[in-house]
Amino acid sequence: MTTEHTLAIENLTVGYGDRSVIEHLDLRIPPGRVTAIVGANACGKSTLLRSMSRLLAPQAGRVVLDGKEVHRMPAKELARTMGLLPQSPIAPEGITVADLVGRGRHPHHGIMSRWSKDDDLAVAEALEATHTAELAERAVDELSGGQRQRVWIAMALAQHTDLLLLDEPTTFLDVSHQIEVLDLLTDLNATRGTTIVMVLHDLNLAARYADQLIALADGGLHAAGDPAEVLTADCVRAVFGLESQVIPDPVSGKPLMLPIGRHHVTVPVTA
């Protein structure tokens, strides 16, 4: 099962004030797949995600969802199709976990509509999927960073959108919970056909979990495609300025990047 929504970036230039971060970018997001955006710090990963979700207006070009420019769509209409989990979101002071996750249901309510059993079910499923049900009555500001991150993901899941954008969803999480979250997003993609677009810093996790990698560099697109085609030593050198070796991951079969620094290199390095 896959979603049929199309999301395209056309000749996009976007930035802050007079400064452009991304220039003349053309990109297609494959529907019903998992896409990971990677690149060096300040290369425009978060800026791109903010523009895709209409939080940041383009300086030129456009973002098109199902033939409509997202920056011209009513906010509620867009929110029924596309959800966003930004970096470091801020919860209202004193709000409980259940109430915050429940806010993911707002796009599905009209002026006269009331909270329904479907809303209860969506919230319960999101809490269960993120293992936060036992936190439902806790205040969000009392939680650890990892717990808060899982609660924000639960809110995004409760929104029940066909496209989900996540900016560093594994931030603040230990290794175990990073894998848990990425497995959860993979399950969401497999069972609901949700199109997932996420910014990740960990190249190896991005390559393992994504169907498509997008590598940004110098304000534009360096490479996009299957992880086996994108994650190469040449790409790592061009995008990150880092020497590396890329080998098959013995667990997943996907490419595995081994960084090469100035120290602790005990075997000959091949080009």
pLDDT tens sequence for the chain (271 residues): 445 789 999 999 999 988 999 999 999 999 999 999 999 998 999 999 999 999 999 999 999 999 999 999 998 889 889 999 988 788 999 999 999 999 988 887 766 677 888 889 999 999 998 889 999 999 999 998 888 888 988 998 898 889 999 999 988 788 988 898 899 899 889 988 999 999 999 999 999 999 999 999 988 999 999 999 999 999 999 999 999 999 999 999 999 999 999 898 887 666 5
Radius of gyration of the chain (CA): 19
Distance CA 34, CA 197 (A): 6
Alpha helices in the chain (DSSP H): 45-52, 75-79, 97-102, 117-129, 145-158, 175-192, 203-209, 227-230, 233-240
**How would CATH label the architecture of 7-259?**
3-Layer(aba) Sandwich (3.40)
DSSP state, 96?
A: B
C-alpha to C-alpha distance for 121 and 255, rounded to whole angstroms: 39
CA dist., res. 159 & res. 193, Å (int): 15
**pLDDT given for residue 1 in this prediction:** 45
Two structure tokens written together for 74? 């009513």
Domain ranges of the chain: 7-259
Sheet holding 195-199, edge to edge: 82-85, 163-167, 195-199, 34-39, 212-217, 220-225
Q: Which residue in 128, 76, 129, 123 sits closest to 100, CA to CA? A: 123
Question: CA separation (Å) from 104 to 79, 119, 214, 217, 240?
Answer: 9, 9, 28, 33, 36
Interatomic CA distance for residues 257 and 103, integer angstroms: 39
Residues ≥6 apart with Cβ < 8 Å to 204: 249, 256, 257
What's the predicted TM-score (pTM) here? 0.89
Beta-bridged to residue 216, according to DSSP, are 39, 221
Encoded amino acid at 184, one letter: L
Residue 136, CA distances (Å) to 47, 96, 97, 133, 154 in order: 32, 7, 5, 5, 11
Give residue 265's pLDDT: 86
Q: Which two tokens stand for residue 7?
A: 């999301």
